[in-house]
């Protein structure tokens, strides 16, 4: 049975190397690839479930056109599909200009080859596209402003930590391979503190779980800094050499007492004292911040406040210490790294109009003028369920005259399409991918022929370009041909600047990125304007209009604020975390996954439930002025009262997406989506 080395290209920390066994043109099994030191024990259940996903009878294998009057679709030939697209695109370009076409991509499949989509649209004459990102910009920007660059120690260095703080990250579900290193550190006596409103799987092995009111982590960080400075548990020589703005920071946190923070965050004072004590006295401290915590309206400042804890204690640039948010050392193929790559360009002379904030997708689409949007092309994404404010996004999509969606399955977004194009899976075309938790460059190998009439996107774009009359010579350098050799030549060309990276080597397994710094910032070079760690950032002030020093401000949707305003409705924070069973809205249609996680549930504390007459298993209505969701309630004594939770990624057809209730709003920095600022009512349905 042939065995191939490849890599899981999902938008996930682990980006596992895997070995794929192929039998009679089908995946037989997926096994661990021990060469990847970050994921040597093998992929999670989702990675294993590709055996079902790739050959699922539900896969879309042919172009489908929506029936005239109904929600159904009928199979059409590629010729008909291409003719239809060419006719629609040409007409839109003539009538309104190329910028009336929205090109929307999500994070469904990572890879270098994915960028050919934009090359097509440039050849087409332009389009409109989005800026910002749903996932992580506030944290990236906070890190960039403070440390100059987004990078961190290699994953296996974590076992050298004396204290690990998982701040809003549930690694056991979202980065299971990290728990191996956490456990190793713990075996050697390291302490683990988890800060999360939920009693997560990750919290189970911690000595302390601090459950703050959502959006108040910054206050806790500032109070911990206050204590560390007061107790003189800080690294003065480090500060003098490498930190800019300590005096201003010290001044700012003087009033941030533990009592002040405990009242804001609704946690006991002693828990903040323990946190500070542990940071001061446990040896190397690693703080790993999750992505959920930086999706609030105040979260860039929150993240800056947390990084400051490491800066003032000298926990940067050393083994076992540091700030884990994202390691972008493998972003070697582009010219600009994230988060800069997310920002709209300063001038709009380009053919490509970058004018739609991903965070406000629905509203900005509806607001687009000169020209208005008339066509959308969606690939690698499911914006109907995954972008904030689903009702608005639906309204915007339904207002267009034509929608093309490229997908493997009939997602909620695909259901809205006029034309669905069948998408390849990760096994059906080769590509190069990096990662954001470990430092490997990997080859995602083609191991199967695409089934049915599936065509990889590069092939679709090439064919479309030719049919639109774009000369073949214009395509040569930007969109590869359909043959495997063409794809390999394309990848080889991009590998050329890196002699350490060859396709031959990558075919065997993962390769460490050239120029890797295993212990991030061990050279103490911080590419900030001052060359130091900037607790005082003038760029933060000038670019984002926030205070140059990280200070605590309430998030826009805050129970405390509501209560001060005399809230009688007993609003609840609506947490919408990820689960181990899905990557956003992927995998949930598989039988393998549905057997484990069949229906969306609202997790609620019995206290919050009893005052609303909700029983374990009651049908409830979650609602606010944006929309509503109806699901069953499930009691959990581990969630902080005042918070309810439902995992994101459920399809509307499966019982409702959490984004019916979220609001399209940007984070305080980075053009991220602040959809975790989300207060809801919960009531029992009879």
User: Under the criterion CB under 8 A, does residue 594 sit at the interface with other proteins?
Assistant: yes
If the CB atoms of residues 178 and 413 are measured against other proteins, the closer one turns out to be: 178
Q: How many residues does the chain have?
A: 686
We find the least distance from the C-beta atom of residue 195 to other proteins, in angstroms, to be: 9
Q: Are 199 and 227 in contact (CB under 8 A)?
A: no
User: Under the criterion CB under 8 A, does residue 602 sit at the interface with other proteins?
Assistant: no
User: Under the criterion CB under 8 A, does residue 633 sit at the interface with other proteins?
Assistant: no
Tokens for 360? 């406000």
Exposure of 397 in the CB half-sphere (CA atoms within 13 A) = 27
We find the least distance from the C-beta atom of residue 221 to other proteins, in angstroms, to be: 15
User: Under the criterion CB under 8 A, does residue 48 sit at the interface with other proteins?
Assistant: yes
Tokens for 9? 């290209």
Tokens for 212? 């703050």
Exposure of 63 in the CB half-sphere (CA atoms within 13 A) = 18
We find the least distance from the C-beta atom of residue 652 to other proteins, in angstroms, to be: 22
We find the least distance from the C-beta atom of residue 535 to other proteins, in angstroms, to be: 27
* Segment interacting with other proteins (CB under 8 A) among 62-70, 263-271, 349-357, 451-459: 263-271
If the CB atoms of residues 10 and 671 are measured against other proteins, the closer one turns out to be: 10
* Segment interacting with other proteins (CB under 8 A) among 181-189, 322-330, 481-489, 559-567: 181-189
If the CB atoms of residues 300 and 642 are measured against other proteins, the closer one turns out to be: 642
DSSP secondary structure string for all residues of 646-669: --TT--GGGT--GGGS----B-SS
User: Under the criterion CB under 8 A, does residue 355 sit at the interface with other proteins?
Assistant: no
We find the least distance from the C-beta atom of residue 199 to other proteins, in angstroms, to be: 5
How would you class 466 by CB atoms within 10 Å of its CB: exposed for 0-12, middle for 13-18, buried for 19 or more?
Answer: middle
We find the least distance from the C-beta atom of residue 256 to other proteins, in angstroms, to be: 18
d(CA 35, CA 33): 6
d(CA 303, CA 57): 44
User: Under the criterion CB under 8 A, does residue 371 sit at the interface with other proteins?
Assistant: no
We find the least distance from the C-beta atom of residue 433 to other proteins, in angstroms, to be: 19
Plot region of 168 (φ>0 → left; ψ -120 to 50 → alpha; else → beta):
left
**Contact map string, positions 190 to 219, toward other proteins, x by CB under 8 A:** -xx-x--x-x-x-xxxxxxxxxxx------
If the CB atoms of residues 58 and 87 are measured against other proteins, the closer one turns out to be: 58
* Segment interacting with other proteins (CB under 8 A) among 104-112, 268-276, 372-380, 509-517: 268-276
Tokens for 71? 């929600």
* Segment interacting with other proteins (CB under 8 A) among 64-72, 86-94, 100-108, 266-274: 266-274
User: Under the criterion CB under 8 A, does residue 259 sit at the interface with other proteins?
Assistant: no
User: Under the criterion CB under 8 A, does residue 682 sit at the interface with other proteins?
Assistant: no
d(CA 269, CA 57): 55
Number of residues that bind other proteins (CB under 8 A): 66
We find the least distance from the C-beta atom of residue 412 to other proteins, in angstroms, to be: 22
Q: What values do phi and psi take at 432, rounded to 5?
A: -105, 135
Sequence-ordered list of residues with C-beta below 8 angstroms from that of 587, at least 6 positions apart, any chain: 46, 49, 53, 581, 593
Q: Which of 236, 241, 254, 270 binds other proteins (CB under 8 A)?
A: 270
d(CA 418, CA 67): 8
If the CB atoms of residues 42 and 339 are measured against other proteins, the closer one turns out to be: 42
Q: Are 494 and 478 in contact (CB under 8 A)?
A: no
DSSP secondary structure string for all residues of 589-609: TSHHHHTT--S-EEEE-HHHH
Residue for token digits 């709003």?
A: 665
If the CB atoms of residues 210 and 234 are measured against other proteins, the closer one turns out to be: 210
Q: Which of residues 394-433 bind other proteins (CB under 8 A)?
A: none
Q: Which of 327, 636, 668, 677 binds other proteins (CB under 8 A)?
A: 636
Residue 345 in 3-state DSSP? coil
User: Under the criterion CB under 8 A, does residue 179 sit at the interface with other proteins?
Assistant: yes
Tokens for 630? 């109806």
DSSP secondary structure string for all residues of 287-300: EEE-SGGGSSTTHH
d(CA 532, CA 307): 13
List of E strands, 340-414: 352-357, 375-379, 402-407
Please state, in angstroms and as integers, the Cα–Cα distance from residue 286 to each residue in 153, 165, 519, 594, 622, following that order: 10, 6, 12, 36, 37
List of E strands, 196-247: 208-210, 243-244
* Segment interacting with other proteins (CB under 8 A) among 247-255, 294-302, 602-610, 648-656: 602-610
Q: Are 647 and 577 in contact (CB under 8 A)?
A: yes
Other residues' Cβ atoms within 10 Å of the Cβ of residue 626? 18
Q: Which of 119, 235, 266, 488 binds other proteins (CB under 8 A)?
A: 266
User: Under the criterion CB under 8 A, does residue 1 sit at the interface with other proteins?
Assistant: no
If the CB atoms of residues 51 and 423 are measured against other proteins, the closer one turns out to be: 51
* Segment interacting with other proteins (CB under 8 A) among 279-287, 288-296, 319-327, 630-638: 630-638
User: Under the criterion CB under 8 A, does residue 3 sit at the interface with other proteins?
Assistant: no
If the CB atoms of residues 116 and 593 are measured against other proteins, the closer one turns out to be: 593
- In the complex, the residues that contact other proteins under the rule CB under 8 A are 29-32, 39, 41-45, 48-49, 51-52, 172-173, 176-177, 179-180, 183, 186-187, 189, 191-192, 194, 197, 199, 201, 203-213, 265-268, 270-271, 580, 590-592, 594-596, 605-607, 610, 616, 635-641
């Amino acid at each position: 049975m042939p065995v191939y080395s490849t890599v899981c290209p999902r938008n996930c920390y682990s980006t596992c190397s895997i070995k794929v066994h192929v039998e009679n043109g089908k995946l037989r099994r997926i096994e661990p690839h021990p060469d990847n030191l970050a994921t040597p024990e093998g992929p999670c259940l989702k990675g294993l479930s590709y055996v079902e996903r790739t050959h699922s009878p539900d896969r879309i294998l042919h172009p489908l056109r929506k029936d005239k009057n109904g929600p159904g679709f009928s199979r059409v030939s590629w010729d008909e599909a291409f003719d239809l697209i060419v006719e629609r695109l040409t007409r839109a370009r003539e009538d309104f200009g190329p910028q009336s076409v929205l090109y929307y991509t999500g994070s469904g499949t990572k890879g270098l080859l994915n960028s050919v989509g934009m090359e097509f649209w440039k050849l087409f004459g332009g389009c409109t596209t989005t800026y910002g990102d749903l996932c992580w910009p506030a944290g990236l920007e906070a890190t960039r402003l403070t440390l100059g660059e987004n990078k961190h120690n290699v994953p296996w260095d974590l076992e050298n930590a004396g204290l690990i703080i998982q701040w809003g990250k549930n690694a056991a579900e979202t980065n299971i391979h990290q728990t191996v290193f956490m456990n190793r550190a713990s075996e050697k006596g390291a302490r683990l503190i988890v800060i999360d409103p939920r009693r997560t799987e990750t919290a189970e092995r911690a000595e302390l779980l601090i459950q703050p009111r959502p959006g108040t982590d910054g206050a806790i960080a500032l109070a911990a800094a206050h204590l560390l400075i007061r107790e003189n548990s800080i690294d003065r020589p480090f500060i003098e050499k490498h930190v800019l703005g300590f005096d201003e920071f010290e001044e700012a946190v003087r009033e941030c007492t533990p009592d002040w923070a405990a009242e804001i965050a609704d946690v006991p004072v002693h828990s903040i004292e323990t946190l500070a004590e542990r940071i001061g006295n446990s040896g190397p401290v690693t703080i790993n911040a999750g992505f959920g915590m930086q999706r609030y309206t105040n979260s860039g400042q929150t993240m800056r406040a947390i990084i400051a804890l490491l800066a003032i204690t000298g926990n940067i640039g050393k083994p076992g210490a540091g700030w884990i948010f994202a390691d972008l050392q493998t972003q070697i193929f582009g010219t600009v790294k994230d988060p800069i790559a997310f920002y709209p360009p300063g001038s709009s002379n380009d053919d490509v109009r970058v004018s739609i904030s991903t965070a406000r997708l629905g509203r900005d689409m509806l607001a687009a003028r000169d020209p208005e949007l008339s066509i959308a092309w969606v690939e690698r994404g499911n914006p109907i369920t995954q972008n904030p404010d689903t009702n608005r996004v639906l309204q915007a999509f339904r207002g267009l005259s034509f929608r093309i969606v490229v997908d493997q399955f009939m997602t909620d977004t695909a259901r809205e399409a006029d034309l669905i194009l069948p998408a390849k899976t990760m096994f059906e075309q080769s590509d190069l991918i990096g990662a954001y938790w470990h430092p490997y460059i990997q080859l995602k190998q083609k191991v199967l022929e695409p089934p049915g009439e599936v065509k990889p996107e590069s092939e679709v774009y090439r064919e479309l370009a030719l049919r639109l009359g774009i000369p073949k010579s214009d395509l040569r350098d930007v969109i590869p041909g359909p043959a495997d050799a063409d794809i390999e030549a394309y990848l080889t060309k991009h590998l050329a600047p890196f002699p350490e990276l060859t396709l031959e080597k990558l075919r065997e397994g993962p390769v460490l990125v050239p120029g890797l710094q295993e212990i991030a910032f061990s050279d103490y070079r911080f590419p900030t304007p001052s060359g130091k760690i900037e607790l005082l950032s003038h760029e933060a002030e000038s670019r984002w209009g926030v205070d140059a020093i990280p200070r605590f401000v309430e998030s826009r949707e805050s129970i405390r604020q509501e209560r001060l305003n005399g809230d009688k409705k007993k609003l609840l924070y609506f947490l919408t975390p990820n689960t181990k069973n899905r990557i956003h809205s992927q995998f949930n249609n598989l039988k393998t996954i549905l057997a484990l996680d069949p229906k969306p549930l609202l997790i609620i504390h019995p206290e919050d439930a009893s005052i609303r007459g909700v029983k374990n298993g009651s049908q409830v209505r979650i609602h606010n002025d944006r929309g509503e969701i109806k699901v069953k309630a499930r009691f959990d004594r581990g969630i902080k009262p005042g918070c309810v939770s439902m995992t994101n990624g459920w399809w509307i057809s499966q019982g409702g997406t959490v984004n019916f209730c979220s609001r399209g709003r940007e984070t305080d920095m980075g053009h991220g989506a602040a959809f975790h600022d989300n207060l809801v009512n919960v009531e029992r349905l009879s």
